[in-house]
Structure 1
Amino acid sequence: MHNVLAVLLCLLLAACGSSSNSPDAAQTQAAVAAFATVQQVFQHLRCQNCHIPGDAPLQFDAGLPHQMGVVRGPAGHGAPGLPCSSCHGEANPPESYGPNAPPGAPHWALPPPEKRMVTKDLSAPALCKMIQDKQENGGRDFAALLKHVSEDKLVLWGWNPGGNRAPVPVPHAEFVAKFKTWSDAGGPCPAS
């Protein structure tokens, strides 16, 4: 009898403990709804022009192949002899350079070939899983992902792309709040 009571007590404590750490149905539903905004941002051209399956980045609001035969290179910084920094500086150039002058932001580059974080043409569930995949996302957990999308200067460039480029349409603060809602619930993925 003592063993049965001990087992029941353990089960009761485990159930209570797990329910306090797990998101409830409403939190999960809110998180999945918030992911729709995360998806909208990750799949905007400002992101997916560089988060590509191949090795040639895209450019402009039409997602055209990058001019001059630009490629990812061995570390994501361009080919030897033609690094991204040949044209892209640490900040957007002055408006006097024209609307199609190469934009700039700190550490301008593509993701490295082994961690491409491809966003283009992924379904919502596939994108959700990819974002959480440490093999794809640079080894980031949710806290590091949140820091990346809220503080990284190259990510922030998407909201201030300069020239005649369309910025990410979701305000950055709203995007970060939705990302936090989604990640705080454990990153539940949409069903379809």
Structure 2
Amino acid sequence: MSRPAALLLIAGLALAGGTLAASALAQGEPPAGAAASPPPVVLKTAADFQSIKDPAARSLALFAEAGKVIQSPRCLNCHPATRVPTQGDDLHPHDPPMVAGEAGHGPDGLPCRSCHGPANVTTFGEHIKSMPGDPKWAVAPAKMAWQGKSLGAICAQLKDPARNGGKTLAQLQQHMAHDHLVGWAWAPGEGRKPAAGTQAQLGELVQAWIDTGARCPKA
């Protein structure tokens, strides 16, 4: 085969390969050799606990399931043990260094909105794949700190109006099920693992937990 003919053959194969890869991507299939995405974390539905006949036991089981979300990095990072927010699945300190400030929106002169806009923004850094964002982006108040606490202690906080923003249990359920910033946990941007299940599932679990007595695990 002559050299020009060989070059044409190689170009044709490359074009065909590119077409196949594009077709696979369009159909949601990863290209050959690409690493498979990890499967999403499964969150049981409230209906999955109907077989537990004792209401108190079912309430505890429901809250333990909701705890898969409540204690996920997507929630814990915004409920730090100190006024210093954390990042990533390993809860490392915010980079660049940052403090929440009095209102949870950053220190005077450097509010959170200096970097965090109303929506996620894709970046091209080696480690940081996207800048998270939401119209209500903020760090939870100090009295709502969750990091380092047991699920039982967090449960007691959630039920206490003095430590949950003055919410009733019904208002707490609405917050969990419909708040836009809470919902960010399931769409956190590239490079972050979403919370388990869906926000709707969490809302159903919390409602069923309330309906069965809102029992808390032992601290």
- Which band: TM-score by shorter chain? 0.7 to 0.9
Q: Deviations over 1:66-119 (max 9, x none)?
A: 0122101010000011100011111112x4x33533211121001233x3x122
2:197 to 152, 166, 170: 170
Work out whether 1:141 is the aligned partner of 2:168: yes
2:70 to 13, 33, 42: 42
Q: How many residues align?
A: 164
Q: CA deviation at 1:191?
A: 3.4
Structure 2 residue identity aligned to 1:155: V
Structure 1 residue identity aligned to 2:109: G
**Alignment partner, residue 136 of structure 2:** 107
Which whole-Å CA distance do the structure 1 matches of 2:113 and 2:214 have between them? 35
Q: Which moved more, 1:100-109 or 1:147-156?
A: 100-109
Q: CA deviation at 1:172?
A: 2.3
Which whole-Å CA distance do the structure 1 matches of 2:196 and 2:91 have between them? 16
**Alignment partner, residue 108 of structure 2:** 80
SS at match of 1:28: helix
1:18-167 mapped onto 2 (5 Å cutoff): 26-93=54-121, 95=122, 97-98=123-124, 99-113=128-142, 115=143, 117-167=144-194
TM-score (norm: length of structure 1): 0.80
Q: Which runs of 5+ in 2 are unaligned?
A: 1-52
Larger Rg computed on CA atoms: 2
Structure 2 residue identity aligned to 1:109: A
Structure 1 residue identity aligned to 2:57: Q
Contact 1:41 1:168 in 2 (8 A): yes
Q: Which runs of 5+ in 1 are unaligned?
A: 1-24
Structure 1 residue identity aligned to 2:118: E
Contact 1:39 1:127 in 2 (8 A): no
Q: Identity of paired residues, percent?
A: 39
Select the structure that is richer in helix.
1
